Structure 1
């Protein structure tokens, strides 16, 4: 997952020019030195099933599994030559910075579609009228239309519901539950479309979720669900009749790797979506100390980590299959190491158990929650402004939220969601209690936050447990229980932390691992960066002070290029251009220019 700061847009064109000639994928030519084996980056010569398409010549496979001594980079003397190769920065376990470029809507390299308008809704101009049913009826009408392909990477849409400029009052919640449906306004300023969450009901407001139905948004249903905060039904994967394989015995697969050696490649095909399931294990939990969490200061017991809740499931696509090394070549690098000292990892075909919708969006409007004007800690009102769950390839764009308890949430079963050009402002809630003021929150996979702004947050840009801004009163960063593989790129905020949280919450422990903080700025002097045992974080070009007294003792993360700016200015943007291979194409499609919404 990737967070991409609001100020990053100013240097898009500059980076595009600098990297136009540096877009070729890199190759490795290391020599075999011994056990354990460590697969690196070369592409396969062999293939299985369909043909593997590669834009460059593959190096010899004899040297595919290698062990490399990483270069040593002393603190604060790091220099880079502006290339992505110099920024891989392998650690002693050969974990290196992954390629984050395949995140967001349709993997980030195509523009978010401007979906044709199908239904227009006018404001009621009645301060006492509840517009929930009118808007939901329009959404349902579009949901019944046929899907039409748009020509962009397999996208198909039905149509957009346009809420004309004016004020709408919604006492319940709005539900988007079908693929290809967009809810659009006519601007996020005071002269645009303003949708007000009315009444003293604690609920999430706009729910984009393939498992929900229209009636779940009614006032009566929301009252029955009051104080539940979120409607996120448990999802999962359906068992497949296709073969399941295990990772190869004795092979350590590091973070950043795209070659997964397996016991058998039979039954797998190029283009297939798979799940790479790393099982939880008591030994791993013991190694990182999460089975001996101390009690809280109030003597309440911490919840010790259990292996059953720390099975990590990574969704990937097979780009190639190598017969010689019995490896699956995946599109997105691993963001968690696969260590052979722990139980082997399973690989199997991806089939969702519950409905997943795609090509859905909320855009170009202002969402406002009514709240008690004399109680700054009122919580009997809208919780999250927008929640996306059980959704693939969706977006929230050009949306301002005001006075909700929290902001915009791409939840556990969201995939490839883009949140861009949004502002989450002035939350109303208890200011310091947990679970509040999570302004821009990613908890699914392959999510992208791009050019967004928050204020008065507890956590501006945040990930939650096991996850495969300015003027904050807490921090930006992974929040709890081992979030993996997140890039914080050109973020400016109050504090950035990647740290041991131990007994915090109910036993949050290690907040995250394999995190990348790149050219970010913290306005306070209290940031904290710590490495969990056996893992690495990469802190590069960080501007801001670090606390001299971490709350809990742990190994400090090495900070490279402290108080300096590293080139390329944006790691995400550079990786995207390198993958696509055409800087101007990327700039034209997803560059600095904002979206243009046509008149009806």
Structure 2
């Protein structure tokens, strides 16, 4: 491809890419075609003084990204599939079909009735039933609001503090204790275990490298393009031995069966017994260490196409903000859901999280604020933007956290992967954003920024040893890219069989963490001019140009 053709194709994609919001959410990125080229890194480097590229991912002469592998086969993964519809479509503006205002007293039943009424409407050709719009005002809510039917959106009038023009959900009381205020998705976790009969087959490739999308299976006859499949790498003694049984320091080591690596994917093509999936894998699958397998998932209970927009959730409390926990714990939980979004909203005074995902794929949380948590300053609290188990292809873009223990975090162990924190800002951090425990994979902090942190370690891509309950190696194949920790530590360490990276980051970038382990890949620390400035955006454009 010539340079001119590459540019023409980029310009032709301009409108669609601008709609994706990754280029328009921040004033620093233009929505026009020139801004796309600039922010993606396609404007070239040789003529721009002071800019440099990582040795691990660079543009070639055709302005396509090229990656380097190390001797262990480690390479930087492609994170560009994170978000609603894998970033292939913009978040929709779903038509309002019902508008309501607040009533006196508890509004839980009032709001739920409107949500349920829209949930009974037929879906349109795009799969949506419609949006409930909440007029400005205060809406006291003593229970939990549930968007549990596909294609339903709850939309406020603004996320500010003025009830004359904004929509304010006031979470009152503590019944049940430590409840979720709003739940998007299904009622319970399935762990993606429902197998369609006749589809279970072993992966027979001896080594599926990190970043791969294709592999051999024993029998592909039960699979079809478009199938939603689950890949499982069992947690065997051979795999555990290869990762030092988790590296848990003085705690008990991880045990067989405790940390299966799990991926939720769609089949893109099948040729003989070679299967190609939609999203790359974020870990090596070595057959000598574990016999991996896959099956078609029955998608039981899954809720799709739900959204929350333009409102404020303010959780009421009465005591000391560093002690009181007699109130709702999570402002918004996304659970058992796919292709879901939360945008342009603010969440205050939660104990655990402003937004938390669990068994969630292809979600976008954009332009949201999780502020001023109220709780003890201790474990399992103040995870402002939090991904729990079975969270995959989740994008947090232009979000802001304050007074967090872990502002942008994966707490989801070996079933969590492909999570992007894009242009996140943490103010007054009380502990680090991080991979938190037990081998989450493929986390990207891209242009993360700290403001006035209150601790000396604010970004951890590392081993957590005996922290928690044997957290050990918290993450693998994860990256800090062009981050600024405001003079505090970014700790990056190399796990056995894998790698972690800190590229173009500013602060104290080091492999010296709480637990002694080899340093990860550190490149260009405190060197300005990293190009592309955003790895996620560059990978997104590169994929769309392919």
Residues in 2 aligned to 1:487 and 1:552: alpha-carbon distance in whole angstroms: 22
- When residues 548 and 275 of structure 1 are mapped into structure 2, their CA distance, relative to the original with a 3 A threshold, is closer
- When residues 273 and 546 of structure 1 are mapped into structure 2, their CA distance, relative to the original with a 3 A threshold, is same
Higher strand share: 2
Partner of 2:540: 576
Cα deviation for residue 321 of structure 1 reads 2.4
Residues in 1 aligned to 2:195 and 2:240: alpha-carbon distance in whole angstroms: 27
- When residues 108 and 390 of structure 1 are mapped into structure 2, their CA distance, relative to the original with a 3 A threshold, is same
Mapping for residues 243-392 of structure 1, pairs under 5 Å: 243-248=199-204, 251-290=206-245, 293-295=248-250, 302-323=251-272, 326-352=273-299, 354-392=300-338
User: Contact between 1:194 and 1:368, CA under 8 Å: does it hold in 2?
Assistant: yes
Mapping for residues 24-423 of structure 1, pairs under 5 Å: 78=55, 81-82=58-59, 88-124=67-103, 126=104, 129-150=105-126, 156-191=127-162, 192-200=166-174, 201-211=177-187, 233-248=189-204, 251-290=206-245, 293-295=248-250, 302-323=251-272, 326-352=273-299, 354-423=300-369
User: Contact between 2:134 and 2:167, CA under 8 Å: does it hold in 1?
Assistant: yes
User: Contact between 1:5 and 1:452, CA under 8 Å: does it hold in 2?
Assistant: no
- When residues 96 and 544 of structure 1 are mapped into structure 2, their CA distance, relative to the original with a 3 A threshold, is same
TM-score, length of structure 2 as denominator length: 0.84
Please list every run of at least 4 consecutive aligned residues from structure 1 whose deviation after the TM superposition is greater than 4 angstroms: 4-9, 12-15, 18-23, 76-87
User: Contact between 2:132 and 2:154, CA under 8 Å: does it hold in 1?
Assistant: yes
- After superposition, the C-alpha distances for 1:526-576 in whole angstroms (9 at most, x for unaligned) are 221111111111221111113575211101012112123421111111221
Partner of 2:48: none
Partner of 2:29: 11
Alignment size in residue pairs = 490
Cα deviation for residue 140 of structure 1 reads 1.1
Residues in 2 aligned to 1:241 and 1:80: alpha-carbon distance in whole angstroms: 42
Q: 409-418 or 551-560, which moves further after superposition?
A: 409-418
SS across alignment from 2:229: strand
Matched, 1:435 2:380: yes
SS across alignment from 1:527: strand
Mapping for residues 418-567 of structure 1, pairs under 5 Å: 418-431=364-377, 433-443=378-388, 444-464=391-411, 465-466=413-414, 467-468=416-417, 469-471=425-427, 472-493=429-450, 494=453, 495-546=458-509, 549-563=512-526, 564-567=528-531
Cα deviation for residue 427 of structure 1 reads 0.7
CA RMSD of aligned residues (A): 2.7
- After superposition, the C-alpha distances for 1:289-341 in whole angstroms (9 at most, x for unaligned) are 2267444xxxxxx3531222211221212222234xx4212211110101122
- When residues 317 and 289 of structure 1 are mapped into structure 2, their CA distance, relative to the original with a 3 A threshold, is same
SS across alignment from 1:556: coil
Residues in 2 aligned to 1:461 and 1:248: alpha-carbon distance in whole angstroms: 36
SS across alignment from 1:485: strand
Partner of 1:47: none
- After superposition, the C-alpha distances for 1:326-362 in whole angstroms (9 at most, x for unaligned) are 421221111010112212210221223x301111011
Cα deviation for residue 137 of structure 1 reads 1.0
Cα deviation for residue 402 of structure 1 reads 1.0
Residues in 2 aligned to 1:195 and 1:19: alpha-carbon distance in whole angstroms: 36
Task: Tell me: higher relative CO, structure 1 or 2? Use CA pairs within 8 A at least 6 residues apart.
Answer: 1
- When residues 331 and 80 of structure 1 are mapped into structure 2, their CA distance, relative to the original with a 3 A threshold, is closer
- When residues 527 and 19 of structure 1 are mapped into structure 2, their CA distance, relative to the original with a 3 A threshold, is closer
SS across alignment from 1:386: strand
Residues in 2 aligned to 1:327 and 1:376: alpha-carbon distance in whole angstroms: 55
Partner of 1:67: none
TM-score, length of structure 1 as denominator length: 0.77
Residues in 1 aligned to 2:102 and 2:540: alpha-carbon distance in whole angstroms: 41
Partner of 2:9: none
Partner of 1:60: none
- When residues 580 and 294 of structure 1 are mapped into structure 2, their CA distance, relative to the original with a 3 A threshold, is closer
- When residues 5 and 513 of structure 1 are mapped into structure 2, their CA distance, relative to the original with a 3 A threshold, is farther
User: Contact between 1:78 and 1:561, CA under 8 Å: does it hold in 2?
Assistant: no
Residues in 2 aligned to 1:21 and 1:562: alpha-carbon distance in whole angstroms: 20
SS across alignment from 1:411: strand
- After superposition, the C-alpha distances for 1:149-200 in whole angstroms (9 at most, x for unaligned) are 23xxxxx111111111011101111111111111110000123001100113
Where do 5+ consecutive residues of structure 2 fail to align? Answer: 1-21, 44-52, 418-424
